[in-house]
Structure 1
Amino acid sequence: MLDRPVTDQRMPADRRAPARAAPPAAPIEPEGLNVTALLGALRRRRMVLVACILLFPLLALVAAKNITPRYTAGATAMFEPTEYAARELQSILRDESTTDAVLASQVEIVRSLSVARRIVARFNLTERREFAWWLQDRERADSIPFRARTALAGWAEPVLPDLAALIAPRPIAGVPSGEIAEIQAAEFVQARLEVQVVRNSRVLQIRFTSEDPLLAAAAANLAAELYIADQLEAKFTAVRRANDWLDGRIAQLRAEVQRNESQIAELRSTSGLTRGVNAGLGTEQISRITQDLVEARNQLATAEARFNAARGGGGGADMASLGSANLVAQRQARDEARRELDRLAATLGSGHPDVRAAASRLAAAERAVGGETGRVVQALDAEVRAARARVTSLEGSLAQQEERMARTQGAEIRLNALERETEAARSLLRAVLERSQSTVSQTAIEKPDARILSPATVPGMPSFPKPTLFVAAAAALGALFGLLLVWFLEQADSTLRTGDDVRAALGLPCIALVPMLRRGILGRNRVEDYVARKPLSPFSESMRNLRAALWLGSDPPKVVVITAARPGEGKTTTSIALSRSAAMNGEKVLLVDCDIRQPSIGKAFRAEAAAGVTELLLGQARYEDIVRRDHLTGLDYIPAGAAEIHSLGLFMSEAMASLLERVRRDYDLVILDAPPALAMADARVVARLADATLLCVKWRDTPRSVVRNSLALLEDAKARIVGAALTQVDAKSHRRSGYADSEVYHPRYSGYFRE
């Protein structure tokens, strides 16, 4: 152990190698997505793509072989609607133009539940497992998973009832009743019954799919026959309904005609009408009565005038006009007596007996005129009453005749209306009878609106599954999935695969691509000895490329640290191979194992127990005692020596600085095999003391984030990182990858190498 603190063991500033910054390297943007990149990705991941293309069809073929085959049989029918002749039945049997809606309706008629139920009943499909789900569910009771879950649920029931309820399988369903079973089976039939309309035609394709080819053909034919039979039955039903309606209408019209005729007869009998005669007789009677009434009224007026004249005491002329000669004579005598009296009274005086005699004669004449006038007035009054009575009689007769005429006219109007209604009913009855006879005749020649073009035949090949189609579709799907998987793997691959990836991700030059040494290439050689045994191999050439890259720099380093982000990156193999390759080139090379906690160089050179760096730094051995020589190449190497837990202090000591100063003077190239930089602090200290640091990255293995973290730690330690080397590169795979730097593994360069 060191006696001095770590701070005192630093190399003095004047004795340390001047710190040199790593050469700047601008990151290179990766190539965009182009055809070359896609082809390269497919070449790199071709096995994934091939596996998907082969696996998917294989699985599809296995699935197709294990799926119960189904057979599809098809019949074709032509929809040909016919016209119906009876015009009165257009509301019952209406012919529509064949539109898409009409054809769609025909499709639904074929696929109706009624047709499906009759198919179920005809072939007893409720007893077929294919269409009876309860039979399928009953088979589940005999399956091993059902019995296993039932047993597990029974064991868990006493302890964990909730878990038992989750484990327990779904109970076996009961068998439905007859009608429900038929309806449910019919729903399965509807799912298997397919009806399509051939484009731009009226042809219906009726297909039925079943596991039984005979059933498929029979069910398709039965569906077509039921469709046509339903068409014809619908027409017969419509015709029967029309006949029933016509018969009812005929009976109704006949009853109406009979009722009207009865009313006409009754009306004629009650009104006394005789068709064509009663109207003329009534009019003539009214005319005659009217004339008589006019004469009677005239006579009444004359009689009243005479009566008034007689009662008014008219003169002689008036009396004469009244037709009373006695009254006229008596009035003349009275007038003579009055004149005589006046003459005598004028000559004789009023007291004269002649005058009194003349007055007596005048009074007698007055009494005679009054008596006669009374008799005339009575006669005229009787005549007036007689004329008035006749007028009243004629007026009554006229009113009665007019009333009778009015009644006769109303009855005649009603009679005419009844006769017109009766005639119309007779005409309609004749028309309905004719249409009824036409409908009965139409029933005998009725035909359906569809006909079968070709019946279904028993299919020889299953319609599902089709292995060829399955395999082709699966191959296409596998190719698509493979492409997607290749893209996903490419996007998910965060490792470094090419020098371009190194420059793009790390900003460092890729100094070399170190190929992987497979067992077939090594033969009996060890990996550490391969560069010496096969100096013209591609592996040896990669070491020479690595040495040339270090030497061709502007300031060729003498002390080079080779490290990696994590173990297993090939840093020790690279350190040994590079050292031996440089020694074989005539350089004086020293290889120092600085991985004290897990040494590898002593084991590679079969010097595990020899003293090494640890003993030198602890002062337990001399420099001359720890330096050893490789018998194959003349390489000098210093093993790690005994393990030391305080290795960091050793590398930070004055002894380490003195060692590096000495080897710089004695050797052309000093290679330090350092531990991984990400987890071990020793690598950062050693990298700080060296002239250059080389980072080894395992090809297509180490994630970029891990490499970046280790690179950041080295940069924080002020290490001069000159580049990175991709190790364990699969030459064949990299050659087929399509990357730009894969050219070095092309067979065209085989003449330069000797394995």
Structure 2
Amino acid sequence: MNAVTLATPLTPMPVSRFDQSRHVGRRSVSFGALGQVLRWRWKLVVGVLALTMLLVVGASYAISPRYQAVARLRITPNRPLVVAPDGEGGHGPLDQSLLSTEIATIRSRDIARRVVQANGLQHDPEFVSARLRSGKDEVAQARAVEAAISTLLERLSVDQQEKSYILAVGFQSRDAVKAARIANGFAESYINSTADVMMSTAARQADEGQAALQRLSKQAEVAAADVAHYRASTGIVQGANGATVNDQQIAPLSSQVATAEAAAAAARSNLETAEKQVASAGPDAVSAVLSSNVIADLRRQRTAAEADRSQLASRYGPIFPALIEANERISALDRQIHEEQARIIEGLRSEARAATAQAASLRGQLGSLKGEIAANNSAAVKAESLQRSADAATGAYNHLASSVQQTAQVEQSSQPQARLIEQAVVSSTPAFPNRPAMAATSVLAGLVLGVIAAMVTETMQGTVRNADDVEVLLGLRFLASVPRLGRKQLKGEDGGRCSPADTLLLRPMSAYAEAYRAIRSSIRRADGGSARVVALCSTVPGEGKTSSSLTLARVMAMAGERVLLIDGDVRRPSVRRLAHLHSDCGLIEVLKGEAELSDAILADHVEGCSILPVTKSTFSPTDLFNPGRMRALLEQLRPHYDHILIDTPPVLGVTDARSIAKLSDGVVLMIKWGGTPIAAVDAALAGLEHDNVPIIGAVLTMVNPRAEAVGALYYSRRYVSYYDR
């Protein structure tokens, strides 16, 4: 991001027309720019804050004060008015429903009626209007009482304190003594009413409970007798754990059946495998045969006998006695091996038959047991139904007995459910309005409203603020932003105030000077450098056009160019004054032929910069800028200067500006940042467009150094070291 935003057009951009009403007021304020907006609009924020505080504080003193008195009650949770369904009460977790019930009781109209009648509030003008108090008949008096009750309940507050059984009963009144009396009246009326209700409720519940106990006792006895009789008649015998004997036997028997069936399946599988091995490869291939220690021993003996026979056969003939004996021993071993193989296979068959038989026997026992259980199911269902009825009757009896016992205890005790632990006292300070709180709230509200007002004002702002406004709303190329100079920058060497153009001589490396170097670069690039005669125009007076013209001319001269600055504002000439020059003739005299051009042109303090001033204000009906004479003058000057700058009068105020602009190669429009309405700039552009004037671009002048147009805080922090402040 550069210190000075710069657009460098290659060709002048024609002015694009648009409906201004579609654009004015559409600027949005982002949260990122909020701080910037507040810096610009701080006076508005402070004004809204002061007005809000004045209104709120004034209203707090205009409102009639109200005093609040608070009485505190402690609720006793171990004596509920109505026994809970489960018969449980006493201490434990906080019973929020009990507290809600008591709060609603205190706020009831019956309690309020007692307070009204006890204190005669139906005749108090604070609670009843004069029209209702004036009535003498019973209906009017009843209406007055009801009106007083409604007003009383509106000012009554009942709150639980810090998740406890403490209730704060508060009341507000214009009279502090009356507020304390009414708050205490509510507390006392509530305590008295709870004692009365408790006694009457307990007596009624005790009478009803005794009758119900006798009825439930008979029902429980009959139900228990029915259960015992039915179990005896059906032969249902239960174990210690409540299950029947058959139910207790079926689980282990089922486990035995599963184990036996698994063993039988394994035995059959082994037999089937052995038979397949015998059929395919003979008995020697059977796994059980191969793993038999007996057969393994017989085979070793046969191997040894084979070795002996081989030695004898090699030495002797077939009739040798020892050889014959060896052959017989081998044959005997073969028979023993064959017999052992047959015995092993037959053992597998016997094992399979035994396992199958055992599994079948256990299945039979399980089936018989299931049959017995099925036969007893219908009887068991009915027995369970009878047992449930008996249990329900017994439970109802026990529950009611407990409730009747607690009710009897309540009846015997006259202690109320709540007691007063702190009486309301007369307050010396009003509770409403709370002036310190209202003042603090007014500060917060004022700040919020001030920020909103600043954002709305900025959103509806109809002036040019940044490069997007220039390029999007006006359709112009943005050339540069010229920062506004403060008192420090406008301080001369002698300590006095100097003009902005003089700061270029004192601080040639400032951000202000850099902005005009950017403008010079844009002019040099316009039309490939052919824009030599440039008119500097503004929409209205006071946009810094003349200072910008002199500063730009000096910047060009400091860059080694030959520059002529012509003061084209004959009604309010100021170039000569800003340049601190003196002359007896100038542009008007040259155009009228009363002076030579060489005598009218003055040398500026910067080498290479010349000035053709206007020596005095002229108001003439004649056309001083006759196209023929002015064009001839410009053509005469072109060969001698690299650039000719013309300081024109405001476009909307004087027609001379448009006449001069038509003779130039291009126009640079100077727009005051945040000052010139977009509608005014658009009107000026309409006139220049009608004259087919080529516009090089627009420059924002007098820009707040902290504004987005010159980089805002990022610019001031990151690039301050690059410039001579």
TM bucket by the smaller chain? 0.5 to 0.7
1:121-153 Cα distance to aligned partner (Å, 9 max, x none)? 69x966xxx77999xxxxxxxxxxxxxxxxxxx
Question: Could you say which residue in structure 2 is the equivalent of 1:538?
Answer: 511
- Post-superposition shift, 1:545? 1.9
Aligned residue runs from structure 1 range 54-133, under 5 A: 68=65, 70-76=67-73, 78=75, 82=81, 104=104, 107-109=107-109, 112-113=112-113, 115-120=115-120
1:217 equivalent in alignment to 2:172: no
- Post-superposition shift, 1:719? 0.9
User: Which of 474, 481, 498 is matched with 1:506 structurally?
Assistant: 474
Question: Could you say which residue in structure 2 is the equivalent of 1:526?
Answer: 498
Aligned residue runs from structure 1 range 320-719, under 5 A: 451-458=418-425, 463-466=431-434, 469-471=437-439, 473-523=441-491, 524-527=496-499, 528-556=501-529, 557-605=531-579, 610-631=584-605, 633=607, 635-646=609-620, 649-719=623-693
- Residue pair 1:42, 1:486 contacting (<8 A) in 2 also: yes
1:741 equivalent in alignment to 2:715: no
What letter corresponds to residue 715 of structure 1 in structure 2? E
TM-score (norm: length of structure 1): 0.53
Residues 728 and 704 of structure 1, relative CA distance in 2, 3 Å threshold: same
- Residue pair 2:537, 2:650 contacting (<8 A) in 1 also: yes
What letter corresponds to residue 75 of structure 1 in structure 2? R
| Alpha-carbon separation, structure 1, partners of 2:548 and 2:710 | 23
Residues 696 and 111 of structure 1, relative CA distance in 2, 3 Å threshold: farther
Residues 647 and 663 of structure 1, relative CA distance in 2, 3 Å threshold: farther
- Residue pair 2:29, 2:455 contacting (<8 A) in 1 also: no
- Post-superposition shift, 1:677? 1.0
1:752 equivalent in alignment to 2:722: yes
RMSD between superposed Cα atoms in Å: 4.7
- Post-superposition shift, 1:200? 11
- Residue pair 2:132, 2:144 contacting (<8 A) in 1 also: no
**Aligned-pair identity (%):** 29
What letter corresponds to residue 36 of structure 1 in structure 2? G
Question: Could you say which residue in structure 2 is the equivalent of 1:23?
Answer: 13
- Post-superposition shift, 1:37? 4.8
| Alpha-carbon separation, structure 1, partners of 2:665 and 2:583 | 30
| Alpha-carbon separation, structure 1, partners of 2:488 and 2:148 | 68
TM-score (norm: length of structure 2): 0.55
| Alpha-carbon separation, structure 2, partners of 1:537 and 1:669 | 23
- Post-superposition shift, 1:228? 4.2
What letter corresponds to residue 724 of structure 2 in structure 1? R
- Residue pair 1:21, 1:720 contacting (<8 A) in 2 also: no
Residues 611 and 499 of structure 1, relative CA distance in 2, 3 Å threshold: same
- Post-superposition shift, 1:751? 3.0
| Alpha-carbon separation, structure 1, partners of 2:689 and 2:593 | 31
| Alpha-carbon separation, structure 2, partners of 1:449 and 1:110 | 18
Q: Which stretch has the larger CA shift, 713-722 or 51-60? A: 51-60
- Residue pair 1:73, 1:213 contacting (<8 A) in 2 also: no
What letter corresponds to residue 188 of structure 2 in structure 1? E
- Residue pair 1:561, 1:671 contacting (<8 A) in 2 also: yes
What letter corresponds to residue 492 of structure 1 in structure 2? M
- Residue pair 1:564, 1:675 contacting (<8 A) in 2 also: yes
- Residue pair 1:107, 1:195 contacting (<8 A) in 2 also: yes
| Alpha-carbon separation, structure 2, partners of 1:622 and 1:605 | 21
What letter corresponds to residue 675 of structure 1 in structure 2? P
| Alpha-carbon separation, structure 1, partners of 2:176 and 2:464 | 60
What letter corresponds to residue 667 of structure 2 in structure 1? T
Residues 684 and 74 of structure 1, relative CA distance in 2, 3 Å threshold: farther
Question: Could you say which residue in structure 2 is the equivalent of 1:193?
Answer: 156
| Alpha-carbon separation, structure 2, partners of 1:193 and 1:496 | 58
Question: Could you say which residue in structure 2 is the equivalent of 1:36?
Answer: 32
- Residue pair 1:628, 1:636 contacting (<8 A) in 2 also: yes
- Post-superposition shift, 1:497? 1.5
- Post-superposition shift, 1:451? 3.5
Residues 694 and 648 of structure 1, relative CA distance in 2, 3 Å threshold: farther
Q: Which stretch has the larger CA shift, 60-69 or 571-580? A: 60-69
What letter corresponds to residue 419 of structure 2 in structure 1? I
What letter corresponds to residue 76 of structure 1 in structure 2? L
| Alpha-carbon separation, structure 1, partners of 2:193 and 2:721 | 88
- Post-superposition shift, 1:632? 5.0
- Post-superposition shift, 1:73? 1.3
What letter corresponds to residue 216 of structure 1 in structure 2? A
| Alpha-carbon separation, structure 2, partners of 1:590 and 1:647 | 27
| Alpha-carbon separation, structure 1, partners of 2:48 and 2:502 | 41
